[in-house]
């Protein structure tokens, strides 16, 4: 038996699995998540969207049986999305109505558009299960790293069991923060070993944004957790930066992927082209944008499949929904961030995806 199992069992028990929600509901979402994430499940990816639609539709009908209220700011943002579609000519091949429907279902199931006690319990439990599974896969990824020529089956260098390094690296960063949280809350120093493993894999998978987000995430957690002990929080932040810098100096030979990515002109030029297209679209329609999930630039959307490559998610929101939609979205984001910091409870073991 794993020595950590009592801690995990207590943490899971706090999420009240006995609530009146079918267990297959959670299992379906977990399977759906990994259909899109794990390389070994890629042959079954055709099941991803049908399964997701069924699960989210069931979520809507279940929530409507309970008391719930609508979030006005999120409803306003959704209305801006609809208006941007009406106000702009968009090619039918982009399937905007289906994308808008999928976005609404996603907002309803996981977003802030509906406030419900039962839905909150559902999100807390589901994210707890997903986070624990992500932590387990981080250990699996490290074992794959130790075996020569394993973990490179996906795209973008080392991916572990995942399909792409751009997906693997953020998940490694999330697991690192979670292991850090586990170690602090439980007092088990052994949990800082998988924390170090997660940090190593985050950097090794060569995502600069994920590495920077990991550092910022650790700082935000430290400041929130020790918000009444600012000196200690500052010391933890400085120690984290020092350890990461020292680790980079000692093990920089392992991080050739991120060094190569930093020096590669092709990836930078590709991103610069996409960012330049976003800026042109913002200039073209600064107030209402060019339309929800739309682009008028040839490099961004495949005219056949409608697949989007924005270059920068924030700039894409600004270019597609204009200043109005961007400001409302930013307000929703900042509100959630402020609430997560100001209402941080040291005794709360609920685990949310960052």
Residue 306 pLDDT > 80: no
Q: For residue 138, name the pLDDT band (cuts at 50, 70, 90).
A: very high
| Distance from the Cα of residue 238 to its chain's centroid | 26
The SS3 of residue 291 is coil
**DSSP letter at 90?**
-
Looking at mean pLDDT, say which of 21-30, 160-169, 335-344 comes out highest. Answer: 160-169
CA atoms of 301 and 321, how far apart (whole Å): 16
Residue 106 CB coordination number (10 Å): 13
Q: What is residue 323's predicted lDDT score, i.e. its pLDDT? A: 94
> CA separation (Å) from 93 to 7, 83, 176?
50, 19, 40
The position carrying tokens 């979205």 is 329
Q: For residue 322, name the pLDDT band (cuts at 50, 70, 90).
A: very high
DSSP H helical segments within 114-264, as ranges?
117-146, 165-186, 192-204, 208-225, 230-250, 256-263
Residue 327 pLDDT > 90: yes
Average pLDDT of the chain, as a whole number: 77
Convert the pLDDT of each residue in 88-109 to its tens digit.
888 777 788 888 888 888 888 8
Convert the pLDDT of each residue in 198-241 to its tens digit.
988 888 877 778 888 888 888 778 777 776 777 776 777 777 67
The SS3 of residue 175 is helix
> CA separation (Å) from 35 to 43, 167, 175?
9, 13, 19
Nearest CA among 132, 206, 196 for reference residue 168: 206
Determine contact, residues 234/259, Cβ cutoff 8 Å: no
Residues of the chain by 3-state class (helix, strand, coil), percent to 5: 70, 5, 25
């Amino acid at each position: 038996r794993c020595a950590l199992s009592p801690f995990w069992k207590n943490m899971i028990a706090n999420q009240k699995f006995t609530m009146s929600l079918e267990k297959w509901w959670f299992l379906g979402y977990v399977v759906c998540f990994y259909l899109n994430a794990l390389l070994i499940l890629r042959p079954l990816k055709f099941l991803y969207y049908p399964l997701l639609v069924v699960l989210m539709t069931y979520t809507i009908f279940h929530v409507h049986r309970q008391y719930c209220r609508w979030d006005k700011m999120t409803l306003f943002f959704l209305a801006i999305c609809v208006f941007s579609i009406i106000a702009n000519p968009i090619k039918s091949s982009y399937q905007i109505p289906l994308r808008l429907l999928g976005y609404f279902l996603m907002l309803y199931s996981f977003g802030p558009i509906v406030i419900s006690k039962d839905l909150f319990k559902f999100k807390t439990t589901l994210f707890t299960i997903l986070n624990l599974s992500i932590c387990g896969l981080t250990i699996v990824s490290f074992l794959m790293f130790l075996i020569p020529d394993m973990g490179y089956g996906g795209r973008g260098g080392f991916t572990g069991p995942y399909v792409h390094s751009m997906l693997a690296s953020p998940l490694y960063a999330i697991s690192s923060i979670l292991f850090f949280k586990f170690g602090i809350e439980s007092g088990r120093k052994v949990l800082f070993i998988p924390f170090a493993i997660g940090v190593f894999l985050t950097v090794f998978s060569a995502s600069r944004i994920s590495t920077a987000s990991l550092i910022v995430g650790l700082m935000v957690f430290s400041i929130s957790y020790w918000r009444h002990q600012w000196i200690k929080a500052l010391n933890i932040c400085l120690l984290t930066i020092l350890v990461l810098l020292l680790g980079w100096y000692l093990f920089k030979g392992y991080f050739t992927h991120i060094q190569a990515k930093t020096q590669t002109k092709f990836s930078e030029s590709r991103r610069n082209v996409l960012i330049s297209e976003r800026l042109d679209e913002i200039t073209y329609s600064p107030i209402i944008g060019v339309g929800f999930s739309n682009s008028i630039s040839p490099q961004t959307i495949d005219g056949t499949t409608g697949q989007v490559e924005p270059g920068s998610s924030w700039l894409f929101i600004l270019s597609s929904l204009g200043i109005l939609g961007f400001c409302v979205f930013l307000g929703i984001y900042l509100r959630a961030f402020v609430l997560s910091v100001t209402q941080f409870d040291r005794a709360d073991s609920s685990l949310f995806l960052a």
